[in-house]
Amino acid sequence: MGGLATAAGHQDRQEPLKSYCKGLLLPGERKSIEPMAARLSPENVQAMRQSLHHLVAKAPWSDEGLLEQVRSYALPRMQKQGPVVAWIVDDTGFPKKGKHSVGVTRQYCGQVGKQENCRIAVSLSVSTWNASLPIAYQLYLPKEWAEDSERREKTEVPEEVRFQSKPEIALDQIRAAAAAQAPRGVVLADAAYGINTAFRDELTRLKLQYVVGVQSSLTVWEPGKQPLPAGPRKATGRPPRFLQRSADHQPVSVKQLAMSLRSGAFKEIAWREGTERKLRSRFAVVRIRPAHRDYERAEPYAEEWLLIEWPRSEPEPTKYWLGTLPPATPLKALVKMAKHRWIIERDYQELKQELGLGHFEGRNWRGFHHHATLCIAAYGFLVAERNRFSPSARSGHLRFAAPGPAPEFRPRGSPRSS
Q: What confidence tens digit (pLDDT) does each residue in 229-239 have?
A: 987 766 666 77
42 located within any domain: yes
Pair (127, 61) in one structural domain: yes
293 located within any domain: yes
pLDDT at 301: 93
pLDDT at 114: 86
Enclosing H/E stretch for 214 = strand 210-214
57 located within any domain: yes
Pair (172, 294) in one structural domain: no
359 located within any domain: yes
End-to-end, the C-alpha distance of the chain in Å comes to 43
Structural domains counted in the chain: 2
| Tens-digit pLDDT string for the chain (418 aa) | 777 877 777 778 888 999 999 999 999 889 999 999 999 999 999 999 999 999 999 999 999 999 999 999 999 999 999 999 999 999 999 998 888 899 999 998 887 888 899 999 999 999 999 999 999 999 999 999 999 999 999 999 999 999 999 999 999 999 999 999 999 999 999 999 999 999 999 999 999 999 999 999 999 999 999 999 987 766 666 777 789 899 999 999 999 999 999 989 999 999 988 878 899 999 999 999 999 999 889 899 999 999 999 999 999 999 999 999 999 999 999 999 999 999 999 899 999 999 999 999 989 999 999 999 999 999 999 999 998 876 655 444 545 555 566 666 666 655 555 4
What's the pLDDT tens digit per position in 3-16?
787 777 777 888 89
405 located within any domain: no
Work out whether strand 132-139 and strand 186-189 pair parallel, antiparallel, or are unpaired.
Answer: unpaired
Pair (292, 170) in one structural domain: no
| CA pseudo-torsion sign 33, 35, 39, 43 | positive
Pair (9, 71) in one structural domain: yes
pLDDT at 395: 45
Pair (162, 194) in one structural domain: yes
Pair (53, 157) in one structural domain: yes
Q: Left, alpha or beta for 57 (phi > 0: left; psi -120 to 50: alpha)? A: alpha
Asked if 269 contacts 283 with a C-beta cutoff of 8 angstroms, the reply is: yes
The residue range of the domain holding 376 is 2-203+344-386
Pair (358, 299) in one structural domain: no
Pair (87, 198) in one structural domain: yes
Pair (58, 148) in one structural domain: yes
Q: Which of 324, 357, 374 is the last residue of a domain?
A: 324
pLDDT at 2: 77
Pair (352, 314) in one structural domain: no
364 located within any domain: yes
401 located within any domain: no
418 located within any domain: no
Give the C-alpha distances (Å, rounded to integers) separating 396 from 81, 154, 346, 389, 393: 19, 47, 19, 12, 10
Pair (371, 274) in one structural domain: no
Q: Which of 273, 290, 324 is the last residue of a domain?
A: 324
Calculate the dihedral angle through the C-alpha atoms of 372, 378, 383, 386, rounding to the nearest 10 degrees: -150
* Rounded distance between C-alpha atoms, residue 26 and residue 23, angstroms: 5
Pair (302, 219) in one structural domain: yes
